[in-house]
Structures are given as C-alpha cells and as structure tokens.
A and B are shown apart, each in its own frame.
Chain A
Amino acid sequence: MSTIVNLRQMRVDQRGIIKTVAAQGELGRRIRDMGLVPGTEVTVIGRAPLKDPVALRLKGFTLTLRNSEADFITVELPEDDLV
C-alpha cells in the first residue's frame, strides 16, 4: 500500500514520485517548466536554515521552492517508506 503525502511533509533524504501538481497560473507554469511534472522522481535533499525553502533533487539537478509552493504538489512514497 503506497502512501500519498504533501511535498511539504517530506523529510530530508526521503524520495518519492510526483503524483499531482495543482498550482495554477505563473507558479504552475514555472513549476512545470522546471520539470516538476507528475511521474518525476524527487528527493528532498535539504531545507534552508529556517526550514523554508526546501531543496529538491530531480532530473539530475537541484531545485528549491518555498513550503507554500510545495503545498500544491503531492508525492507518492515507495511502499517500504514509513512516514
């Protein structure tokens, strides 16, 4: 049974597959331009000193976004991963 969580809830070093991206307008476009589309594997690699923004690794590069922006993205965690 796989779990679907919000990207904001992911821990550092956790890995998952993007399930949905609900952002609209400019934010939606920029998120997709940077490759955050459903089916992409992402790993949370760190958080800024004040826990926000979050740094992700996907498609061979590092991307940062704010928690408020991560809220629009849901991620499917692999089955063996316990939240």
Chain B
Amino acid sequence: MSEAIATIALAGNPNAGKTTLFNALTGSRQHVGNYPGITVEKKEGFVDMPSGTVRVIDLPGTYSMTAYSQEELVARDFLVKERPQGIINVIDATSLERNLYLTVQFLELGIPVTLALNMVDALESKGIRIDSDRLADLMRLPVVRTVARSGLGVREALQAALTHPRQSWEPLFISYGPDLDPVLGEMTKLISNAGFLADTYPPRWLALKFLENDLVVRQLFEADYELHRRLRDMADEVARHCEKTLKTQPEFLIADYRYGYISSILRQGVLTVMPDLQGRADLSDKIDAVLTHQVAGPAIMLAILYGLFSVTFTLGEIPMGWVETAFAWLAELAGKMPPGLTRSLIIDGIIAGVGGVLGFVPLILIMFLGITFLEDSGYMARMAYMLDRVFRIFGLHGSSVVPFIISGGIPGGCAVPGVMAARTLRSPKEKLATLLTAPFMACGAKVPVFILLAAAFFPEHGARVMFLITLAGWAAALVAAKMMRSTIIRGPSTPFVMELPPYRMPTAMGLVLHTWERGWQYIRKAGTVILAIAVLIWAMMTFPGLPQEIAAPYEAEMAGIQEQLQAETGEAARGELEASLAALERRLKEEALTHSLAGRLGQAIEPVTAWAGFDWRTNIALLGGIAAKEVIVSTLATAHSMSDAENTDFAARIAAAPGWNTSVAVSLMIFVLLYSPCFVTVVAIAREASWGWAAFSVVFNTAFAFALATATYQLGMSMGW
C-alpha cells in the first residue's frame, strides 16, 4: 500500500453517526484492532483522495475529554501523541449544543477541527434550522453538512479537513469568568515559563485540566515537584474560594462556562428553533411511548427476544444443514482412506471436532445479525433502561444486558464477543461482575448438548427444556453476580447517566460489518483453538494404545467369526454372527478407551463426579469441554464407541445406556451450562480483567456448577426420577 499523505481522526459523541461516516468513507478498507495494552477498539481505514491516500482513524465515541474513562483517555492520548493533521468532529445536528461541548474541548487543545454536521436531513422535521456558514464564521472552522447514511458530504468533509485553513495547532481561548480567569492566567504563565511539556500540550489546557482535577494531568506534573506544589496550592485556594462564594467547584464552573460559550455562539443566529414544531413529540418519543411502556414494554421485550431466538433457529437450520452435509461428504471421502491412525485422526478428530463447530457458524451469524440490529437501531439502550432497576438489585448495571444477551442470553450467542461487550461498563467492579457471569449463558456451543439430552430424556419437550435452560442461565448469572458483588467485588455502582439515541434504521453496511466482526471471532476460534483441542482429545483417547496381550484375544475371536461368516450362507445365522462381531468390536474399542490417557483421567475423577452422576465417559467429554464446549457431544459420542458410521441415533443410545437416567441428564445439563468458560473465553476474560480473575472464573464456575449439579442429581435420585 502506498504511504498515506495524512492522518485524519474521526471524533465525536457516541450515536452521532461517527462509525457510519467512517464506514461510508473507508468501505471495506478498514480493520479493527486494539490500542496497545488496553481493550478499547481501534478502527483504522484508508481512503483514496485526489491528493493521495489518507489514513482515517475512528476514535472511540466520547462526550468529553476527561480522564474518567478509558475511551476518553485513548482519544486524548491519540490526539496529543500521534498529532494527526486534523480531526473531523462528527456532530449530531439535532442536538448541536451538547455535541459542541466536546468540540470546544478539541479547540482548546488546539487541533485543527472540521465539523461534519451530520444527520442534517432530520433537522427540518424537528423544526430546527442551522446556519452552518454563520457557525463556521463564529467558530472559525470549516463546517460541512453531511448525511453519513447516504454518504452525502462525507468525502467533502474529508477534503475540508485536508485543506483546513489552519495547518498548525492553535488553542482556543475561552473566558472562565472573574473567579477562575485570574488564577488560570497565573497558572498558565507558570507552566509556560517552566516550559513544562511545551511540545505536547498547550499550557492553558494543562492549567485547565489541573483545575478540573484531572488525575492523569496531575500525575504528569509530579515530575516537577516545585511546579506541582505551587499549582496545587493555587488550585486548592481557588477551590476553597468557589466553595465558599459560589457553593460549587472549579471543574463544574468550567463546564458551565463552556456551555455558556456554546450558547452564546448558537444565539448569534446559528440555531433557529421553530416554536410551533417544538411541542410536537418526535417519532422516537412516539415509539418509546409503546416500546418502553410500563406494561407493554417488558412484554414486547420478551416477544422480541423470543422472536429473535426462533428466527435464529428456524432460519439457521437451513444453512446449518448445508454445512453438515458438506462435512458428512468430507468424512465419507476420508472414509475411503485405508483404515488406521491417520484416517481415525481425520474423521474422529478433525472433521468431527471442527465440523461440529463450523456447523454453528450460520446460526451464530444470524444471531449476531439480530443482536447487531437491536444495537444499531437503538433498542438495546432501551433494554438497558428498562432492566436497570432489576439488574441493580443484583449489583449489575442496565448495560450488563448487552454482554448477557450476546453471550447467549438468547441461546446461540457466544461468550467471547459477550465478554468483550462488557467494555461499555464504566465501573470496573460492575464490569468484572458482568464478565464473570456472562459465560453462564446458554451459548451456541452448549446448545447441541441440551438438544441431545432433551431428545434422549424429554422427547416432545425439546423447546420447553431449551427455554428452562435459558432461564436457568439468567438466574445463575444474576445470583452469582449478587454473590460476588456482596463479597469479593463490593463497590459503588456506575452512574446510569446514559443517552437514549433516537431510533434509526441500521445501514446494511454497518450491519454486515459489525456482524462479521463478531462472527469472525467465532470462526477464528473454530479454525485455531478447536482444531488443536480436537486433535489433542483424539490423541488422548487413542494413546496409549491397547497392549497386544489384551487386544489379542478379541482380535483372535473376531478373526474366528470372520472365518465363520465367510463359510456361512444362511441369512439368520449371518445376521447373528455380524451382530456378535459388532459387539466384539465395541468391546475392543471400549477396552482401548479405558486404557487410553483420557479414559484413565476420566476414571481417576469418577469417585468425585459420581456425586453428580457423571461416569468416566462423561468426564472425558467434560474435560474436553473446558477447552471448547463444542467438543462435548462429539467426544461423548466417541466415548460411547459411536464413531464412524452409526452416529445416527445417539440420543436413543444415551437414553438406554447403563448409568443414565433423567437425574443424570438434568444434572449434566446444569453442569454444562455453568461450568468453566471455554479457553477462548478465559483468554478474553484475562484480557478484559486479569489472569487472576480468569483463573478465578475457571475455578469458581466449576465449583458453582458442580455444587448445583450434585444437589440436582441427589435430589433427583432420592425422588426416584
């Protein structure tokens, strides 16, 4: 790729259409990564302009530039450290005043700002008129009217940013009134005389942030002890003065003056609001009157979730069938290989393991498409709003609903993107409680286990079992969250101050890109971790091979039967011989499995797992499931000598197998639902929290699951189920 001629950052409030504008500019020439060391997404893309290729960075959406959240710090650090040529500040034109609050902070930093006045098409119906030329004159910056959804004005905004009249940084000067201006002036003079961080930050900006109690900036000053002491004394003095005379604090006075500055600009003929249209509730309010109605709201929410669930499974079945057929064909092809270890590895290890996972890809993509639609349309914010009061009881936050749903709150999700979605929670304690409990949900990988067991023990009631399991996942997550929040991660809750964005029809491109981002995480998992795990489990179940002295008698007997079979011609006798041959083969396989590493491991822990009703075969599958839940069913099948041809009626086999009954099935469903998150989720938890918490989730969830499974099994057995 040719060298970019310039870097332009996109910045703005969440929901202002920043990402839509980014997608419209860069199309598919973008990639998503992470900022080093932290878990804020970094989106980067390239755009060909007449003057050359431009690198565009989509900064995280923020309302301000404080040090309170990672997103705001990331945006700020990017601007001062990487010094892009300029930023396009994407603004929701329908709430100009609040959006300009961030703009003013960019201007105070000095970076050349181009305003993209987005969603101008919505102004007329709201009775708002904005004179963008006047706004450009007063704020001395280029203003471009855009409609990011249709691409209108998008390239023009980038062009304006590239040809910004101001090519150097030049901080805006705002008066903060008689109480703060004098001390701000003195502090600025002190900082600039000391030449402190002169090439990174403007001195007045540093002074302002110091007054605003910005912890990050204050920490910077600790490098210069004397300067820090003098500034701190001045800041403390003015804080006391403000408290005494105005009953407020400098940081809040600063916010008031910033808004004052903005409204003074808007009043100079920039913003005209037609009063006759003001009283009229807009479309979003009308929709909200129904969708967040006290009675209808929760009912509709349940209906939407249920609808999404059934659409996912009915629609998903079709492409799932194609993938399964493709893998069955592959297995058949591999079956033509000569029998032996390689064939067994390919069929039992790779095709069964990876195929089982990839079969779920269509389902997961449909699921994520639905979730992305709910998110991009603005409905997810309403769910957080409606559920906050309930979630708060359990020490969680309304926004915890998003990670829960993505993780499988509607069966079929995946905990990996779910854990990542917990990023939106600001309070570290709530975030931790959310990401530790989200893996309790019925993710797509656990679903086949439930379907299998339901088919075996509760035929006819499959849908009801699925529904109850889903509820159990939610209940377990909420109860565990409450347990953690009232013991090991106690602490205050995050403020709920949250915007309810207007309802919008998501753009097709946004839907596709966001769905793909999440789906890709799942597919990558199938191609890497699960492939490795499938091969490992296969090896553990195959080696060490059966010693010759144990295998020999079986083989001799089988050879004998083979001979008789060749001589025998009678139909009935042949059938009998074939049956005993098959039985012998199964016993040989079982002996081999008992002897293998996995078999020994399974037997070693059987005395404990027997409390919950799990025999050693189930143990093998569950051990594999710690790595990836997807392998549970295929491992269980192999452990019951079911590989190769006769997979067809596994459910019936399980139901009839010795040691299996309804109590075991229910206990196993509960255990699979709740026990240790899969490896990839554990890694995701480690990245979002720490390795310590990731290890905790493995141990805690397994103990929690085992306790519940044991209780269920013992209760079930005593009731004679």
Measured between beta carbons, the chain A residues less than 8 angstroms from B153 are none
CB atoms of A55 and B496 under 8 A apart: no
A38–B385 alpha-carbon span in the complex (Å): 25
Let me know if A79 is at the binding interface, CB within 8 A. no
Let me know if A80 is at the binding interface, CB within 8 A. no
13 A-B residue pairs with CB within 8 Å:
A28-B249, A30-B63, A30-B68, A45-B288, A46-B292, A48-B385, A49-B298, A49-B386, A52-B389, A59-B98, A62-B500, A66-B496, A69-B495
- Measured as residues with beta carbon below 8 angstroms from the partner, the interface class of chain B is 35 or more
A28–B68 alpha-carbon span in the complex (Å): 11
Measured between beta carbons, the chain A residues less than 8 angstroms from B128 are 60
- Listed in ascending order, the chain A residues whose CB lies under 8 Å from chain B are 21, 24, 26-40, 45-53, 55, 57, 59-66, 69
Interface of A is mostly: mixed
Let me know if B663 is at the binding interface, CB within 8 A. no
A62–B128 alpha-carbon span in the complex (Å): 16
Measured between beta carbons, the chain B residues less than 8 angstroms from A34 are 63, 98, 497, 499
B638: min CB distance to chain A, Å: 49
B285: min CB distance to chain A, Å: 6
Let me know if B27 is at the binding interface, CB within 8 A. no
Quick one: which of B126, B259, B285, B398 contacts A37, CB cutoff 8 A?
Answer: B259
Measured between beta carbons, the chain A residues less than 8 angstroms from B251 are 28-29
A53: min CB distance to chain B, Å: 5
CB atoms of A63 and B95 under 8 A apart: no
CB atoms of B388 and A31 under 8 A apart: no
CB atoms of A38 and B256 under 8 A apart: yes
CB atoms of B92 and A64 under 8 A apart: no
Quick one: which of B255, B500, B502 contacts A55, CB cutoff 8 A?
Answer: B500
A38–B285 alpha-carbon span in the complex (Å): 24
Quick one: which of B63, B385, B495, B502 contacts A27, CB cutoff 8 A?
Answer: B495
CB atoms of A53 and B255 under 8 A apart: no
Let me know if B342 is at the binding interface, CB within 8 A. no
A56–B559 alpha-carbon span in the complex (Å): 82
B625: min CB distance to chain A, Å: 38
* Closest CB pairs A-B (n = 7): A60-B95, A50-B389, A32-B255, A33-B64, A61-B95, A62-B500, A35-B98
Given A34-B497, A37-B255, A46-B289, check contact A60 B94 (CB 8 Å). yes
Let me know if B268 is at the binding interface, CB within 8 A. no
A30–B98 alpha-carbon span in the complex (Å): 12
A48: min CB distance to chain B, Å: 5
A51: min CB distance to chain B, Å: 8
Quick one: which of B63, B95, B298, B388 contacts A59, CB cutoff 8 A?
Answer: B95
